[in-house]
Amino acid sequence: MVGRDAELASMLRRLDAACAGVTQFVRLTGEAGAGKTRLVNEFLDRLRNVPRFADVVVREAACSSFGEPSYGTLAAIVRCAYEIDGNDTADDARQRLATGLGALQLTATDSERLVPLFLYILGFGDPGGVLKHVEPEQLRRQIFYAIRTILERRLERAPLILLIEDLHWADTASLEALRFAMDRLERNRLMLLTTHRPAFETDRLNSAKASLTTLRLSPLSASDGQGLLSALFGADGLPAKLSDQILERAGGNPALYRGDRAQPDRKRGLRRNGTHWEVTPEAATADIPLNIQAIMLARIDRLPPRMRKLAQTAAVIGTRFDTSVLEAVFPEAAEIETDLDQLCEAEIIEELAGGTPTSPASYGFRQTMLHELVYGNLLLRRRTELHGLVGETLERRYGADPDRLGRSRLARLSLRPLHA
């Protein structure tokens, strides 16, 4: 990765230290668009190709821009660990949890004690009624020890990376639980890797015992930016004037410019040739947006009206959404799969992994900033109407179970303040 080699090397050294039994907390911090997610992806790709990291287990969570309910961030990690889908029932989740805890060789007694706690974390409330007499502070302590228990059992078997993206949106309860576990697992093969924006205060998560590394991703230097452009277009691929304009106006992040310009459209002046991009004569005279926001707005404006309307409807549901809700609120749903494919090709959204043939496909906006721009460009009246439709759809789906409705990911996303 051009311009990020030092950060990547530091992350790999921290993982080596974790594998040696010294718990690591690595924070990647940078403004939106600084390349945090790209660096994380490069790091994970590198792990897959390094033999000494072959047994490292990765558990991932991405926090929502609309905020998380209590234990919402932990719930995302648990879902990742035990392959619990957002559409699973409490019984489905109970079965998956029992199977997963059994694989960690917990006793039946321990499993019976822990499963209700994890169902609570996942937003199913207390379906068995075993927690109804537990005081709030006692419940909090039990959840903390439950998280510590499964982490200990997992770490006995293999090194573990807990990856949490967009930590600035995490809930307080999850941060406190993770800090509790980190303070008691300081001599283990554990690495907590987080991404967040610079203004976020991490005091609630900073462990007094884990080794802390903070990597601040500043904008790329001119030379690094030129190196990235050369990697994308070849050393002599861009006219000098166009290259200078990109580096001047991309704010140290020419990759975002690539994300806007590198569309399969000859009128834009770029076309893909294998793993590289070729520049057509039109690119030398094309106009360049002045900033990242203008770049993204231009990408949205180029969408056909129907696709733009679909993207706006999806944005009201949230940064992530599934097709069952989108079809229920979009008035022209007959060709929705084709439209979603085209939005993917336009790099507005992407299909998320983990779907099954029997569950609705899930999608997410490629960038949080892009989602915010799509949402923000909706007229307030239309935004209000869509929020109502989404709310009614969720109410029909979850019925008279307000606890689960309030904790569900889709419900959280749809309840964004209208003035935001």
Residue 33, pLDDT score: 64
| C-alpha span between 298 and 319 (Å, rounded) | 19
Whether the CB-CB separation of 149 and 114 falls below 8 Å is answered with yes
Residue 87, pLDDT score: 84
Per the prediction, the chain carries an average pLDDT of 82
Residue 247, pLDDT score: 66
Q: What type of residue sits at position 357?
A: P
pLDDT digits (tens, 9 = 90+) for 122-143: 999 999 899 999 999 999 999 9
| Same domain as 180, residue 70 | yes
Would you say residue 2 lies in a domain?
no
Residue 237, pLDDT score: 62
- Residues facing 322 on adjacent strands: 362
| Same domain as 311, residue 290 | no
- Residue 111, pLDDT above cutoff 90: yes
| Same domain as 192, residue 75 | yes
- Taking the CB of residue 417, how many other CB atoms lie within 10 A of it? 7
Would you say residue 420 lies in a domain?
no
Whether the CB-CB separation of 197 and 32 falls below 8 Å is answered with yes
**What are the CA-CA distances from residue 42 to residues 1, 7, 27, 242, 296 (Å)?**
7, 11, 16, 28, 24
Lowest-confidence region among 29-43, 144-158, 352-366? 352-366
**What are the CA-CA distances from residue 147 to residues 71, 175, 177, 184 (Å)?**
11, 12, 7, 11
- Strands 160-165 and 57-62 turn out to be parallel
| Same domain as 291, residue 319 | no
The better pLDDT of the pair 232, 339 is held by: 339
Residue 86, pLDDT score: 80
pLDDT category at 399 given cuts 50, 70, 90 is low
Whether the CB-CB separation of 412 and 69 falls below 8 Å is answered with yes
- Residue 280, pLDDT above cutoff 70: no
| Same domain as 20, residue 91 | yes
| Same domain as 191, residue 47 | yes
| Same domain as 166, residue 59 | yes
Domain finish residue from 159, 193, 216: 216
User: How far out from the chain centre does Cα 109 lie?
Assistant: 35
| Same domain as 386, residue 239 | no
Residue 344 lies in domain: 303-414
Residue 376, pLDDT score: 87
**Would you state the structure tokens that stand for residue 42, as one six-digit string?**
């490069």
Would you say residue 155 lies in a domain?
yes
Residue 420, pLDDT score: 43
Q: What type of residue sits at position 102?
A: G
- Eight-class DSSP state of 378: S
pLDDT category at 24 given cuts 50, 70, 90 is very high
- Residue 198, pLDDT above cutoff 90: no
pLDDT digits (tens, 9 = 90+) for 314-341: 999 988 898 888 998 888 777 888 899 8
| Same domain as 186, residue 87 | yes
Q: Radius of gyration of the chain from Cα atoms?
A: 23
Label residue 399 left, alpha or beta by phi (over 0 means left) and psi (-120 to 50 means alpha).
left
Domain finish residue from 259, 275, 296: 296
CATH of the domain at 336: 1.10.10
DSSP class per residue in 245-276: HHHHHTTT-HHHHHHHH-SS-GGGTEEEETTE
Would you say residue 70 lies in a domain?
yes
Residue 304, pLDDT score: 87
| Same domain as 196, residue 142 | yes
Q: What is the pLDDT averaged over residues 99-115?
A: 94
pLDDT digits (tens, 9 = 90+) for 362-385: 899 987 778 888 998 888 888 999
The owner of tokens 């090709």 is 345
CATH of the domain at 175: 3.40.50.300
Residue 223, pLDDT score: 73
Residue 392, pLDDT score: 87
| Same domain as 379, residue 281 | no
pLDDT category at 418 given cuts 50, 70, 90 is very low
Residue 248, pLDDT score: 64
Q: What is the pLDDT averaged over residues 342-356?
A: 79
pLDDT category at 417 given cuts 50, 70, 90 is very low
Please state the domain count of the chain: 3
Domain finish residue from 149, 182, 216: 216
Torsion angle of C-alpha atoms 123, 128, 134, 136, degrees rounded to 10? 10
- Residue 398, pLDDT above cutoff 80: no
**What are the CA-CA distances from residue 247 to residues 231, 259, 270, 294 (Å)?**
14, 14, 17, 15
DSSP class per residue in 269-301: TEEEETTEEEE-GGGGG----SSHHHHHHHHHH
Whole-model pTM: value is 0.65
Would you say residue 419 lies in a domain?
no
The better pLDDT of the pair 259, 219 is held by: 219
The better pLDDT of the pair 141, 36 is held by: 141
| Same domain as 209, residue 117 | yes
| C-alpha span between 315 and 206 (Å, rounded) | 33
Residue 195, pLDDT score: 94
Residue 238, pLDDT score: 67
pLDDT category at 259 given cuts 50, 70, 90 is very low
Lowest-confidence region among 41-45, 81-85, 398-402? 398-402
Would you say residue 1 lies in a domain?
no
Which of 306, 268, 303, 270 is closest to 287 using CA atoms?
268
- Residue 166, pLDDT above cutoff 70: yes
Helix (H) or strand (E) holding 187: none
Rounded percentage of the chain residues whose pLDDT exceeds 70: 74
190 φ, ψ to 5°?
-125, 135
Rounded percentage of the chain residues whose pLDDT exceeds 90: 45
